[in-house]
Amino acid sequence: MFFYENGSRGRDVLTDFLGDAELKSIMSDGYNAYVFIGNELNSGRFKDTVHQVCMSHAKNKFVKASNQGSEPNAERFSKILKEFFMRERKYDDAGLTSQERLRERQSLETKELLIELRSLLDSEQSKDSEFRSQYYREALNYLNRFWKEIFAYLDDGELPIDNNLAERTIRKLTTQRNNSLHYGSDAGAEMAATYHSVIGTVKLHGSSIWNFIGTFFKNIFNGCRDYVNMVPDKITLATSQC
């Protein structure tokens, strides 16, 4: 779901949007305005919500440090982090249940991999950082600062390892915004948010966007105003009563 709030990514935008929602977890990318979430989730308002930070962002920082910062040890970090992703793909391919996935995430092999990564991080942070590239320093600090949030998924078989699904979904909106230079007005931005929310939902249902749009407007032209039964999940499941 996309929404627009006067171009702001501030703290109040997120808390107002969440309202009194009951969430199992919420994942961010470590953006400064969202760092507060960890403290916010300790309050009575979100006391049962787990704050996660995307592992892909951590891995990509080390890849960047290796490729652009010419840091040889950065590749060691990225290889270990990639191993966590490889394990998740193996669980997906095996069709594991959340309980089975949790057992694998809590396995001795996973714990040994985590210990290896933590030992490497502690070792690198104990060294003089004067001659390190900025990219490498940022990668190390990011991993250390959000260690708990990055690996929170290991304690629950239902939590994702990253927010790549959201990243892929938002890419279409970003491409449109860049190609259009701007939306022209707040109303234009709100319209774009609504459009991409609908289209993104249709795609997540694995359905044809054109079929949805065709069915929707056919219903409108036939006088149907039962909007509740014309949302993407209703039409794509062929349950619209119009």
Average pLDDT over residues 81-88: 97
Predicted pLDDT of residue 132: 86
- pLDDT top residue among 6 and 85: 85
Predicted pLDDT of residue 224: 86
The sign one gets for the Cα dihedral 7, 8, 12, 18 is positive
Whether residue 202 contacts residue 209, with contact meaning beta carbons closer than 8 Å, is answered with: yes
The pTM for the full model equals 0.72
Predicted pLDDT of residue 128: 82
Q: Which two tokens stand for residue 33?
A: 């305005």
| Average pLDDT along the chain | 82
Choose the weakest-confidence range: 100-104, 109-113, 178-182.
178-182
* CA angle 36–39–40, rounded 5-degree value: 80
C-alpha 183: how far from its chain's center? 25
Evaluate if residue 41 carries a pLDDT over 60: no
Q: Which residue from 46, 54, 44 is spatially nearest to 21, judged by alpha carbons? A: 46
pLDDT digits (tens, 9 = 90+) for 152-174: 999 999 999 998 777 676 677 67
Predicted pLDDT of residue 135: 93
Average pLDDT over residues 90-100: 96
Average pLDDT over residues 101-111: 97
Largest CA distance in the chain: 72
Domain coordinates in residue numbering, the chain: 11-51, 54-161, 165-236
What band does 124 get if pLDDT is binned at 50, 70 and 90? very high
Evaluate if residue 58 carries a pLDDT over 90: yes
Predicted pLDDT of residue 30: 64
Q: List the beta bridge partners of residue 25.
A: 50
Q: Which residue from 35, 46, 47, 45 is spatially nearest to 10, judged by alpha carbons? A: 35
What backbone phi and psi angles, to 5 degrees, belong to 27?
Answer: -115, 135
- pLDDT top residue among 146 and 14: 146
- Alpha carbons 159 and 45: distance in angstroms, whole number: 20
SS3 (DSSP) at 31: coil
Evaluate if residue 28 carries a pLDDT over 90: no
Predicted pLDDT of residue 157: 96
User: Which residues touch 57 (CB under 8 Å, ≥6 apart)?
Assistant: 29, 30, 142, 162
pLDDT digits (tens, 9 = 90+) for 173-194: 677 666 776 667 777 777 777 8
User: Which residues touch 45 (CB under 8 Å, ≥6 apart)?
Assistant: 20
- Alpha carbons 170 and 166: distance in angstroms, whole number: 6
Average pLDDT over residues 27-45: 60
